[in-house]
Amino acid sequence: MKFSPTVFLFFIFISMSPCYGDYSIGFHEENNEITDSEGAEINLSFWDLPLKLQIVTISVIILALGWKISALLLASIKKYPRNKNRLDILEFIGNNPGATVNQIKKDRGINRGTVRYHVNVLKEAGKIILFQNGKNISIFKNERKLWSKKHQTIIEPYMKSTTCKEVCKTIYENPGITNAELSRKMKVSKATISLHTKTLENMNCLKLKLNGRFKNYYIIENCHPDYLPFYEKIH
């Protein structure tokens, strides 16, 4: 015979509810004599029940919890490891740190929507980590070494764009440089420079000094460009 979780919960509720009888004995308020009263209630807690009924109730609770945990584990097993596309994508990411969705799509011949779906499932399962660098998102297999402080050799070389780091490095080597000078020196637009200087401001490693209508940029002391992570983890 199979019992659903609803039946288990109903049994537990009945077992742990107060028990009611048709007869009780109490003291009369005036002379403290024992009197009988029919139809009165006897309230019993769970611990007042017979030992056998307590054991049965606790056993049912344990069985119900075990059933729920087993169902969750089974669902997790079915969700993750047996999907061929998902395993192929994970293998590709492991062999190609910093891979993008487009690279996976081209290499594995899977449409973009399907790749994004499997990437999200792998991220939720803790198998991969996504880092954003500008508009680019790089995917790495979740490994202990990623949390090392040597991000400039473990993560950044695989990033598609390192413009922000170049901006930081150029300012560091040319204290007081302006937006226009950065644009000319790096051969990128002023809008791009402004975008990355704003990022550096948010990282609290850039300070500005107004000089008329110009802004002079300086890297704050102890903010060396080689030791700043120019990306953010996508949660």
Neighbours of 82 (CB within 10 A): 9
Which residues share a beta bridge with 211? Answer: 214
* Amino acid at the residue 139: I
Please tell me the distance from the alpha carbon of residue 217 to that of residue 182, in angstroms, as a whole number.
10
Which pLDDT does position 34 carry in this prediction? 43
pLDDT for position 63: 84
- What is the distance between the alpha carbons of residues 235 and 99, in angstroms, rounded to a whole number? 17
Going from the first residue of the chain to its last (235 residues), give the mean pLDDT of each consecutive group of 10, the final group possibly shorter. 49 48 44 47 68 82 80 56 85 93 93 94 92 84 78 77 87 95 93 88 89 91 85 81
What is the rounded CA–CA span in Å between residue 223 and residue 163? Answer: 17
**Pair 205, 228: CB distance under 8 Å:** yes
Tell me if the pTM is above 0.85.
no
Q: Please give the span between the terminal C-alpha atoms of the chain, in angstroms, as a whole number.
A: 45
Please tell me the predicted confidence (pLDDT) of residue 74. 54
84-156 CATH fold: Arc Repressor Mutant, subunit A (1.10.10)
234 contacts 137 by C-beta, under 8 angstroms? yes
- DSSP reduced 3-state for 86: helix
Round to whole Å and give the CA distance between 132 and 198. Answer: 16
Quote the pLDDT of residue 83. Answer: 86
Asked if residues 200 and 168 have their Cβ atoms less than 8 Å apart, the reply is: yes
pLDDT (0 to 100) of residue 90: 94
Q: In the prediction, which pLDDT does 76 show?
A: 57
Q: Report the topology of domain 162-233.
A: Arc Repressor Mutant, subunit A (1.10.10)
Rounded distance between C-alpha atoms, residue 203 and residue 156, angstroms: 17
Rg (CA), the chain: 33
pLDDT at site 217: 96
* H-assigned helices in the chain: 5-16, 51-79, 84-95, 101-108, 112-124, 151-154, 163-173, 179-186, 190-202
